[in-house]
Amino acid sequence: MGFYKSLSLVALATVGVSQAVTETRSLDQIHQAALKEGGVVTLWHGGSDPHQQDALKNAFEERFPGMTLNVSVRSSSFIGPDIDRQLAAKSVTVDSIFLQTLQDYPRWKRQGVLLNYKPAGFEQVYDEFKDPDGAWASSTINAWSIIYNKDKLIGIEPPATFSDFLKPEFKNKLIFTSPIDDDAVLNTFDLIINAYGVDFFWSLLEQNPRFAPHHLSIANEIGQPNTTYAATFGTTIGLFSQDPLVVHFPTEGAPFTSWAQGAAILKDAPHPEGAKLLHSYVLSQEYQNQTGSWSIRRDVAAPKGFSSIFSTPNTNPLDFAHWMYDRENVERFRFWVQDKIGYPA
């Protein structure tokens, strides 16, 4: 007992939790420091479409003239291991990481590789969406909705809950991101099977759905007038419909997946001032107020027609992180699903 106790004290002393830096400068002051440093910040962002973060890049570069947001978007599951390689080689080229793989953040914090930084506005971020030492905070709330093409469902009652996807009229009309390619999609299948039982899954397979690779835009496929695909769940085009695509968050039946995307700065970031500017901007009221999604800040209301993510029915934005922390369970379930549906095509 005493041995282990002193061992853990030694471990704590070695890695330690370095004192957090709390930002006191204005965005314009950080902007000046970031320009002096070189005017670049390199962000690796989780996602499927290389252009998925163009809106963030444009907003940042417009707000801070002279700055370049060097952003690349790839699957969070692929980014994490590449970051580990950079850390192991002690050659960190990335400043900032915004990922869906929430299990990586506590691990990196324990390893002492994240900058303990509390951006301007940190105190307004819900406690549930940040690390108390500032090792990470969340950038945005993401949620998967039901999406359908209303032009392809003329005379058909659109799906309102996940169980509606089993109706015979949706046979051959369903397409999903393969759950084996994306943990957040896998989570949706887990939530549904927990709510309805495994028979739901067998019945869904009888609908002859396509399970497509992660990089394919499912909404785009459904939007094409020349495909038979008309409806999906486990993806997003935001909170609002974009004709002919209709966005619907089920208010009953199995819950839908929502989560707060992780955001951290690497301690050895080559552009620490650029990274601080990015994080202070992303957490700011002015940015959070124009994302079109739920905010991670208490003092920024949800978009018109929506309530705060915590009072949104049929989802819990904290469940996903806990589910992701239990890797054994996630991997077991992934292999179970993979065995039944094969590789995405």
Among 23, 30, 31, 42, binds ligand NAG (CB under 6 A): 42
Rule CB under 6 A: say whether 226 interacts with ligand NAG: yes
Q: Which of 227, 241, 314, 316 lies at the binding interface for ligand NAG (CB under 6 A)?
A: 227
Q: Does 289 bind ligand NAG (CB under 6 A)?
A: yes
One residue of 236, 285, 314, 316 binding ligand NAG per CB under 6 A: 285
Please tell me whether residue 124 binds ligand NAG under the rule CB under 6 A.
Answer: no
CB 212 within 8 A of CB 344: yes
In Å, what is the CA distance from 251 to each residue of 37, 161, 312, 315, 323? 48, 8, 9, 9, 21
Stretch of residues binding ligand NAG (CB under 6 A), selected from 183-191, 219-227, 236-244, 317-325: 219-227
What residue has token string 């471990």? Answer: 11
Tokens of 30: 């950080």
Q: Which 152-171 positions form the footprint of ligand NAG (CB under 6 A)?
A: none
Smallest gap from residue 258 Cβ to ligand NAG (A): 20
Pick the closest to residue 230 from 293, 283, 180, 156 (CA basis).
156
- Least Å distance, CB 272 to ligand NAG, is 13
Q: By CB under 6 A, name the one of 17, 40, 92, 330 that touches ligand NAG.
A: 40
Residue 290 makes CB contacts below 8 A (sequence gap 6+) with 59
Name which of 187 and 232 has its Cβ closer to ligand NAG: 232
Question: Binding of ligand NAG at residue 87 (CB under 6 A)?
Answer: no
Our finding on whether 301 is near ligand NAG (CB under 6 A) is yes
188 neighbors 235 (Cβ within 8 angstroms): no
Quote the least distance from Cβ 282 to ligand NAG, whole Å. Answer: 15
Binding piece for ligand NAG, criterion CB under 6 A, among 116-124, 186-194, 221-229, 256-264: 221-229
Which sign, positive or negative, has the C-alpha torsion 159, 311, 144, 278? positive
Written as one string, the DSSP assignment of 187-208 is HHHHHHHHHH-THHHHHHHHT-
Q: How buried is residue 18: exposed, middle or buried, by Cβ count under 10 Å (0-12/13-18/19+)?
A: middle
Helix (H, G, I), strand (E, B) or coil at 163: helix
DSSP 255: P
Selected binder of ligand NAG within 22, 72, 91, 329 (CB under 6 A): 72
Residue type, 180: I
Q: Residue 12, Cβ neighbours under 10 Å: how many?
A: 10
Nearest to ligand NAG of 172, 224 (CB atom): 224
Nearer Cβ to ligand NAG, position 138 or 288?
Answer: 288
Among the residue ranges 29-37, 197-205, 224-232, 302-310, the one whose residues contact ligand NAG (CB under 6 A): 224-232
Q: In terms of CB distance, is 190 or 221 closer to ligand NAG?
A: 221
Residues that bind ligand NAG (CB under 6 A): 40, 42, 70, 72, 93, 224, 226-227, 285, 289, 300-301
